[in-house]
Structure 1
Amino acid sequence: MARILVTGASGFIGHKVAGQLASAGHTVIATGRDHSRLPQADAHLRAITADLADDALDALLEGCEVVVHSAALSSPWGRAEEFQRANVLATQRLLEHALRHKVRRFIHIGSPSIYFRFRDQYGVEEAFDPPARWITDYARTKWESECEVLAACARGLPALILRPRAVYGEGDRAILPRLLAVAARGWFPMIGGGRALVDVTHIDNLVGLIEHCVDADVPTDGRAYNVSNGAPVQVSHLLDTLFSALELDVKRVPVPRVPALLLAGLAERVALLRPGRPEPRLSRYGVGVLGYAQTLDISRARCELGYDPNPDLEASLARYAQWWRTHGRA
Structure 2
Amino acid sequence: MRILVTGASGFIGGRFARFALEQGFDVRVNGRRAEGVEHLVRRGAQFVQGDLTDPELARRLCQGVAAVVHCAGAVGNWGRYQDFHQGNVVVTENVVEACLKEQVRRLVHLSSPSIYFDGRSHLGIKEDQVPKRFHDHYATTKYLAEQKVFGAGEFGLEVIALRPRFVTGAGDMSIFPRLLQMQGKGRLAIIGNGLNKVDFTSMQNLNEALLSALLAGEGALGKAYNISNGTPVPLWDAVNYVMRQMELPQVTRYRSFGLAYCVAALNEGACLLWPGRPQPTLSRLGMQVMSKDFTLDISRARYTLDYEPKVSLWSALDEFCAWWKVQAPAKK
TM-score (norm 2): 0.95
CA distance in 2, matches of 1:316, 1:89: 33
- Contact preservation (8 Å) 2:55, 2:98: no
Amino acid in the other structure paired with 2:246: L
Deviations 1:32-51 (A, max 9, x none): 11222124314641111111
Residue 132 of structure 2 corresponds to residue 131 of structure 1: yes
2:70 match: 69
Q: Relative to structure 2, which stretch is displaced further, 72-81 or 107-116?
A: 72-81
Amino acid in the other structure paired with 1:94: V
1:113 match: 114
- Pairwise CA distance, 1:211: 1.7
CA distance in 1, matches of 2:166, 2:219: 24
CA distance in 2, matches of 1:273, 1:265: 13
Amino acid in the other structure paired with 1:275: P
Residue 16 of structure 2 corresponds to residue 29 of structure 1: no
- Pairwise CA distance, 1:7: 0.3
Amino acid in the other structure paired with 1:89: V
2:148 match: 148
Q: Relative to structure 2, which stretch is displaced further, 150-159 or 13-22?
A: 150-159
SS in structure 2 of the partner of residue 163 of structure 1: strand
CA distance in 1, matches of 2:132, 2:196: 22
TM-score (norm 1): 0.95
- Pairwise CA distance, 1:121: 0.3
CA distance in 2, matches of 1:269, 1:219: 48
Q: Structure 1 unaligned segments of length 5 or more: list them.
A: none
Residues 218-229 of structure 1 mapped to structure 2, 5 A cutoff? 219-229=219-229
Structure 1's 55 and 100: CA in aligned 2 closer, same or farther, altered over 3 A? closer
Q: Relative to structure 2, which stretch is displaced further, 205-214 or 229-238?
A: 205-214
Amino acid in the other structure paired with 2:233: V
Q: State the Cα RMSD in Å.
A: 1.5
- Contact preservation (8 Å) 2:226, 2:300: yes
2:104 match: 103
How many residues of Structure 1 are paired with residues of Structure 2 in the alignment? 328
2:84 match: 83
2:15 match: 16
SS in structure 2 of the partner of residue 21 of structure 1: helix
Q: Structure 2 unaligned segments of length 5 or more: list them.
A: none
- Pairwise CA distance, 1:19: 0.9
Amino acid in the other structure paired with 1:14: G
Amino acid in the other structure paired with 1:8: G
- Over the matched positions of the two proteins, sequence identity in percent amounts to 38
Amino acid in the other structure paired with 1:101: E
SS in structure 2 of the partner of residue 40 of structure 1: helix
- Contact preservation (8 Å) 1:83, 1:138: yes
CA distance in 1, matches of 2:138, 2:33: 20
- Contact preservation (8 Å) 2:9, 2:33: yes
Deviations 1:113-146 (A, max 9, x none): 01112211000000033433x3321111001100
Amino acid in the other structure paired with 1:286: G
- Contact preservation (8 Å) 1:187, 1:253: no
1:49 match: 49
- Contact preservation (8 Å) 1:160, 1:219: no
1:287 match: 287
